[in-house]
Structure 1
């Protein structure tokens, strides 16, 4: 099983309980995050928009991307199917990360710890941010883990007892 498929299987499991029926505002959070994220693919805007729509469907339903979109991405953007799956996982992460932050705000969590996965798995040099605590409102200079295309870092909520 490829790492990207594992990501989608984990994502599907994490959304097994339909959070959108109990927290319908999170649908809009995910849609907004995916719709506005910068996607640096060298292809037509129509294909990027189709990938966005597919990512929204995946996040909202907990499903994997369709073979159609993966084949189109492989044909026009990526050399391998695995790279196309990984790219879709990156786009889905925009939505799931935004959902996490929205849920933390509802729980009055105001800070998070940046958790870096490190190079070469993260396309950015975020090792210096690993373990640092940031405001949920500001992040690191307005940036949040998983918000940049290619960043596989994540945030851990700081829970004060």
Structure 2
């Protein structure tokens, strides 16, 4: 079953359970997926949907931190609830050891020796870790190793 089918099924379940918060989040996600499909004029595969979910989680985290700084905890809590729902559809996160192993392998495969090779390493790593690790932290790790 594709990820899009799972999302549709979860939306139906949320409707049946009358879970408004979950239903709203799932509708928002499905609308974003539909918009991307219309814009690109193609059906999105699971990897593209994972990229969308990852982006939405990052947006919600940023919004939650801004709401907390502004003293609007009730709005931050709403964003955090959406994050919980969205993260259900992301793959299992990588452990630090798994990430280090993938990073070492990617550097060895590309023959990277300096910062000028960072793009090559990221190109190899991105498909393997999409949605499973924070790309900002991965980028910082690569910079540290190549510097």
Structure with the higher fraction of residues in helix conformation: 2
- Which structure: larger Rg? 2
**Structure-1-length-normalised TM-score:** 0.27
Structure with the higher fraction of residues in strand conformation: 1
**Structure-2-length-normalised TM-score:** 0.29
